[in-house]
């Protein structure tokens, strides 16, 4: 079964809209884009559309690629000070000369729907976060749709990046699954993935996961167009397509996190 990410995202957005109306809060999402990377701009546009659809204001703050770490840090500090900005997202990747984690750390936990500051990551890794990193929320929702019982299941995670591999591995391990984390140095990833009930990939390498690496009935969640979709789909019980898969769910998860954080903050 091909996961309809757009439909799942609509459900999350609908719930989120209801939560916002119930709270009576006015939310605004501030998005920071540095260097105007086309792919990042496209993804931010999707976040803007989704936000406005459910009554969340959106403002894009753009900075040139040659901004220094200190200048950007100062700009973000100013954006945070604007009370009406209930959340700030910093679209990654940042230009290479920028100290990305230092910039992400400027966002206080209560305005960090991406769970990317060190502080927010620490709370998440201690299993005490009120919100999940958007990629983890996407995995959680998809697995809930598949009705799989996680305990004792075998998972293979491709990649160990900040946005997908690292948080998803931690979350899956915390759910009582067996997790194998493979990377570019793994000699035979197929040896692990072939026994996996759940495969999550976040590498950005086309055809990294091919049909011979997937067992019949596996659940395949692809964040980075790593999966040879057509052929793997014929074996998988559930699979996310390269378009309309995890993307819309991740967008919806960011907005869902915004209202959870705002409700927590509200008196």
79 neighbors 85 (Cβ within 8 angstroms)? yes
Q: From 36-44, 166-174, 204-212, 233-241, give the range in contact with a copy of itself by CB under 8 A.
A: 166-174
Task: Tell me which of 122, 144, 205, 217 binds a copy of itself, using CB under 8 A.
Answer: 122
152 in contact with a copy of itself (CB under 8 A): yes
191 in contact with a copy of itself (CB under 8 A): yes
96 in contact with a copy of itself (CB under 8 A): no
Q: From 9-17, 167-175, 200-208, 240-248, give the range in contact with a copy of itself by CB under 8 A.
A: 167-175
CB 15 to a copy of itself: min, Å: 28
Task: Tell me which of 69, 146, 178, 210 binds a copy of itself, using CB under 8 A.
Answer: 178
**CB-count burial class (<10 Å; 0-12, 13-18, 19+) for 190:** middle
Which of helix, strand or coil describes residue 12? helix
CB 192 to a copy of itself: min, Å: 7
What's the number of CA atoms in the CB half-sphere (13 Å) around residue 192? 19
Rounded to an integer, what distance in angstroms lies between the CA atom of residue 260 and that of residue 39?
A: 28
217 in contact with a copy of itself (CB under 8 A): no
28 in contact with a copy of itself (CB under 8 A): no
239 neighbors 214 (Cβ within 8 angstroms)? no
Rounded to an integer, what distance in angstroms lies between the CA atom of residue 5 and that of residue 129?
A: 24
Task: Tell me which of 50, 132, 141, 182 binds a copy of itself, using CB under 8 A.
Answer: 182
Applying CB under 8 A, what is the total number of residues that bind a copy of itself?
Answer: 35
Give me the DSSP letters along 190-227: HHHHTT-SEEEE-S--TTSB-GGGS-TT-EEEESSS-B
Point out which residues bind a copy of itself (CB under 8 A).
101, 117-123, 125-126, 128, 151-152, 154, 160, 166, 169-170, 173-174, 176-187, 191-192, 195
């Amino acid at each position: 079964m091909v996961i309809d990410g757009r439909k799942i995202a609509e459900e999350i957005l609908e719930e989120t809209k209801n939560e916002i109306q119930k709270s009576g809060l006015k939310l605004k999402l501030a998005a920071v884009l540095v260097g105007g990377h086309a792919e990042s701009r496209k993804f931010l546009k999707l976040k803007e559309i989704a936000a406005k659809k459910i009554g969340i204001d959106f403002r894009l703050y753009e900075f040139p690629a040659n901004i220094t770490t200190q200048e950007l840090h100062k700009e973000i500090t100013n954006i945070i000070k604007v009370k009406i900005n209930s959340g700030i997202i910093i679209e990654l990747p940042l230009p290479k000369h920028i100290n990305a984690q230092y910039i992400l750390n400027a966002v206080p936990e209560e305005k960090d729907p991406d769970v990317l500051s060190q502080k927010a990551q620490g709370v998440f890794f201690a299993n005490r976060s009120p919100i999940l990193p958007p990629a983890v929320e996407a995995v959680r929702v998809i697995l809930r749709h598949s009705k799989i019982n996680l305990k004792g299941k075998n998972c293979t995670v491709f990649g160990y990046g900040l946005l997908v591999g690292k948080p998803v591995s931690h979350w899956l391990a915390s759910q009582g699954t067996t997790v194998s984390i493979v990377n570019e140095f793994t000699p035979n990833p197929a040896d692990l993935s072939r026994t996996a009930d759940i495969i999550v990939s976040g590498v950005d390498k086309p055809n990294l996961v091919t049909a011979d690496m997937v067992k019949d009935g596996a659940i395949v969640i692809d964040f980075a167009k790593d999966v040879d979709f057509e052929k793997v789909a014929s074996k998988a019980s559930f699979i996310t397509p390269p378009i309309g898969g995890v993307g819309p769910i991740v967008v919806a998860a960011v907005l869902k996190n915004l209202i959870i954080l705002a409700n927590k903050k509200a008196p």
